[in-house]
C-alpha cells in the first residue's frame, strides 16, 4: 500500500496579499502551500493589505535628502482589491529532495477550490 502523507504544520507566514503554510510528514517529506488573499470572500483580510510606511533617504537620482516617510503600496494588493484572480500553489518535496507534486491554480475571488465543493459566493 502506498504511503499517504500526513503533514503537520511547522511554519505559517503572513504577507500583505499572501500567506504560506509549511508542513512536514513523518516520512521526511515537506509541503509548502501559498495562497493569495481572497478579499471578496473575506473582506476582513484586507487589513493585511494596508499601505506600509517606508523611510526615504535618497531622491530619484540617488542623492541623500532629508529623511521622510512615504506610503508604499503593494501593486499586487491593489490588483487583488480590484478583483484580480487569485493564485495558489502547492509543492510537495520528498525526503530525497525530489519534487513529488507541484501545482499552481488560478481562480476567481469568491470561488472555493476544495474537496467539499463549497458553493461560489454571490
**Blockwise average pLDDT, block size 10, the chain, 122 residues:** 89 95 96 95 90 90 93 92 95 95 94 48 36
**What CA–CA distance (Å, rounded) separates 110 from 39?**
8
Instruction: Tell whether 26 is covered by a domain.
Output: yes
> What percent of the chain has pLDDT above 90?
75
Q: 3-class DSSP state for residue 72?
A: strand
Which DSSP helix (H) or strand (E) runs through 81? Answer: helix 75-81
Instruction: Tell whether 65 is covered by a domain.
Output: yes
Q: 3-class DSSP state for residue 49?
A: helix
Phi, psi (deg, nearest 5) at residue 75? -60, -40
Domain count for the chain: 1
The 3-state secondary structure of 19-43, one letter per residue: EEEEEECCCCCEEEEEEECCCCCCH
Q: Which domain does 102 fall in, by range?
A: 8-107
Amino acid at each position: 500500500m502506498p504511503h499517504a502523507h500526513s503533514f503537520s504544520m511547522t511554519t505559517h507566514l503572513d504577507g500583505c496579499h499572501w500567506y504560506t503554510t509549511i508542513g512536514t510528514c513523518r516520512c521526511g517529506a515537506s509541503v509548502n502551500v501559498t495562497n493569495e488573499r481572497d478579499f471578496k470572500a473575506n473582506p476582513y483580510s484586507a487589513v493585511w493589505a494596508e499601505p506600509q510606511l517606508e523611510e526615504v533617504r535618497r531622491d530619484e537620482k540617488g542623492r541623500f535628502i532629508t529623511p521622510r516617510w512615504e506610503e508604499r503600496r503593494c501593486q499586487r494588493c491593489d490588483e487583488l482589491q480590484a478583483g484580480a484572480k487569485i493564485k495558489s500553489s502547492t509543492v510537495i518535496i520528498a525526503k530525497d529532495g525530489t519534487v513529488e507534486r507541484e501545482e499552481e491554480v488560478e481562480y476567481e475571488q469568491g470561488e472555493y477550490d476544495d474537496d467539499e465543493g463549497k458553493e461560489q459566493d454571490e
